[in-house]
Amino acid sequence: MTHTSHDAIVIGAGVIGCSVAAALAKRGIRPLVIDKLPDAGYGSTSSSSAVVRFGYSTEAGVAMAWEGHLWWREWADVIAPATPDAIVEFINYPMLMLDFEGGHFARVLPHYDKLGIPYERLDRKQLQARYPMMDLHRFGPPVPIESDDFWKDPSEYLRGAISTPDSGFISDPMLSAQNLADAARAHGARFMFRTEVVGIETTGGRVSGVKLNDGSIVGAPIVVNVAGPHSSRINELAGVRDSMKVTTRPLRREVFIVPAGDGVDFDSSGVMLGDEDTGVYFRPERGNNVLIGSTEPECDELEWIDDPDNYRTTLTEDEHQLLVLRCARRIPSVGVPQRKRGVVDLYDVSDDWTPVYDKSDLPGFYMAVGSSGNQFKNAPIAGHCMAELIEAVEGGLDHDTDPLVVTGPRSALPIAMGTFSRNRDVSTASTMSVLG
């Protein structure tokens, strides 16, 4: 059985998949979006920390993040003409990047200066005055909790930090995907949920559709893989995985929410921090709480998953203690509550934690993959960039030899799409972590 053909098929209805669908539909390329889950945003998007920040190790990454934040700030316009009952809110908090020898700071600052990203330098005294709840000792490099060094009293201090005042986070990551799905529908996109793609169809050396788990085939001359932790499987079905220099695989991650502690009003005076020195990132969570995740320091063993449909979905005591105690070094008021609260989900991670936004070796088959952990903030502009790329390549551009540069519609900054090529060399500038 063959369903009616569509202009394009988008595999995955997470926040980036829905953004791709909306961007294509706005151009008159009306896609069918297929997802095995019940609704948009139900996968790893729903577990995102939804942080909007700009600290990437590549110029294109910084430009994309700055452009993306401008879309979040104008969200009603982005999703127009859709007018859903509820839309997400951009919640503004400054983001700190700590200044210490060997930190991410040195990689990022030149990009901020070149692209004109607003930031403020804070020395240690200014940092302490603004955020008195923070201990500004130098604790790193991070070590396992079993190490004697974990408990040593520090003697050195951080030099200071830079603060980007335009950062923040999104109030509801799942709702953000649903808002974009509404926008896509308003322009003619269709959605098919509780449906699994089990095959990629080709005709004459070009993609021609997908096979579904009920045996039916949906035809389309363009297929976009935005399948999150299942993206590597989809690439394998398409026969393109082994020809890529940069590949992806699923990683299990845990994120926790704990009270900020006595005497701390983290709602009104809180801050966001990607703290390589302790090995965690954190941001305020409503109700005077702190949301804590890992920056994947070298000393930690990462839990790569072979089967993205089969992994532990319960929080673990060891990870809870480790991340909360690491955070407590920086914010001493934070304690380790007996009751664990947080989320477990999978990240879709590339070899250098930079996403692949690219064509493939199969004509008509495109990829927006390896984006988990550090790309939620870029979802609106990622969809736009993918639509620009698809139109350019389908129009005859050889993106491999003449990489596309997209101009940010709101910032006018250049976004060099070759940075996200499947055939790039693995970036030596990357932190190899969620920070990118």
Residue in this structure with the two tokens 């995102």, named with its chain if needed: 48
Q: 330, 352, 313: which is closest to 133 by C-alpha?
A: 330
In this prediction, residues 169-175 reach a mean pLDDT of 97
Which fold is adopted by the domain 2-88+172-248+352-420? Answer: FAD/NAD(P)-binding domain (3.50.50)
pLDDT at residue 398 is higher than 80: yes
pLDDT at residue 2 is higher than 70: no
CB 9 within 8 A of CB 216: no
In this prediction, residues 189-207 reach a mean pLDDT of 98
Residue in this structure with the two tokens 């335009």, named with its chain if needed: 166
* Mean of the per-residue pLDDT values of the chain: 96
In this prediction, residues 98-119 reach a mean pLDDT of 93
**CA angle, 167 then 168 then 169, to 5°:** 140
Q: How far is CA 127 from CA 52, 158, 276, 281, 355, in A?
A: 21, 10, 17, 17, 33
92-167+250-350 under CATH 3.40.1160.10, yes or no: no
Contacts of 294 (CB under 8 A, 6+ apart): 253, 254, 279, 280, 281, 300, 319, 323, 434
In this prediction, residues 371-389 reach a mean pLDDT of 94
pLDDT at residue 436 is higher than 80: no
For residue 144, the SS3 value is: coil
CB 379 within 8 A of CB 180: yes
pLDDT at residue 345 is higher than 90: yes
In this prediction, residues 66-93 reach a mean pLDDT of 98
- pLDDT of res. 144: 95
User: Residue 208 corresponds to which tokens in the numbers above?
Assistant: 């021609």
Residues 245-284: tens digit of each pLDDT: 999 999 999 999 999 999 999 999 999 999 999 999 999 9
Each domain of the chain, given as residue ranges in start order, spans: 2-88+172-248+352-420, 92-167+250-350
Q: 258, 257, 169, 255: which is closest to 434 by C-alpha?
A: 255
pTM of this prediction?
0.97
**Within 13 Å, how many C-alpha atoms sit on residue 300's CB side?**
24
**Sign of the CA dihedral running 279, 281, 284, 289:** negative
In this prediction, residues 15-24 reach a mean pLDDT of 98
- The H or E element spanning position 256 is strand 248-259
pLDDT at residue 428 is higher than 80: no
In this prediction, residues 362-375 reach a mean pLDDT of 93
CB 84 within 8 A of CB 183: no
User: Residue 54 corresponds to which tokens in the numbers above?
Assistant: 């700009």
- pLDDT of res. 3: 64
CB 55 within 8 A of CB 435: yes
In this prediction, residues 151-164 reach a mean pLDDT of 95
Alpha carbons 241 and 247: distance in angstroms, whole number: 7
CB 138 within 8 A of CB 67: no
Percent of the chain with pLDDT over 90: 94
Q: How confident is the model at residue 1 (pLDDT cuts 50, 70, 90)?
A: low
pLDDT at residue 180 is higher than 90: yes
Is the peptide bond between 284 and the residue preceding it cis, with omega within 30 degrees of 0? no
Report the phi/psi class of residue 21: left, alpha or beta, with left for phi > 0 and alpha for psi in -120 to 50: alpha
pLDDT at residue 323 is higher than 80: yes
Residues 126-135: tens digit of each pLDDT: 999 999 999 9
Chain-centroid distance, C-alpha 358: 16
Alpha carbons 128 and 135: distance in angstroms, whole number: 8
Listed as own residue / partner, the contacts of 420-423 with beta carbons closer than 8 Å and 24 or more positions apart are 420/60, 420/354, 420/355, 420/356, 420/357, 420/358, 421/246, 421/356, 421/358, 422/244, 422/245, 422/246, 422/356, 422/358, 422/359, 422/360, 422/367, 423/244, 423/245, 423/246
pLDDT at residue 429 is higher than 80: no
- pLDDT of res. 103: 86
Which letter does DSSP use for residue 157 in this model? Answer: B
Which letter does DSSP use for residue 215 in this model? Answer: S
Alpha carbons 92 and 104: distance in angstroms, whole number: 22
Give the dihedral of Cα atoms 135, 136, 138, 139; nearest 10 deg.
Answer: 20
- pLDDT of res. 372: 81
In this prediction, residues 214-243 reach a mean pLDDT of 97
- pLDDT of res. 427: 73
For residue 138, the SS3 value is: coil
In this prediction, residues 95-112 reach a mean pLDDT of 92
pLDDT at residue 56 is higher than 80: yes
Contacts of 395 (CB under 8 A, 6+ apart): none
β-sheet with 90-92: strand ranges across: 51-52, 168-170, 90-92
- pLDDT of res. 102: 83
- pLDDT of res. 196: 98
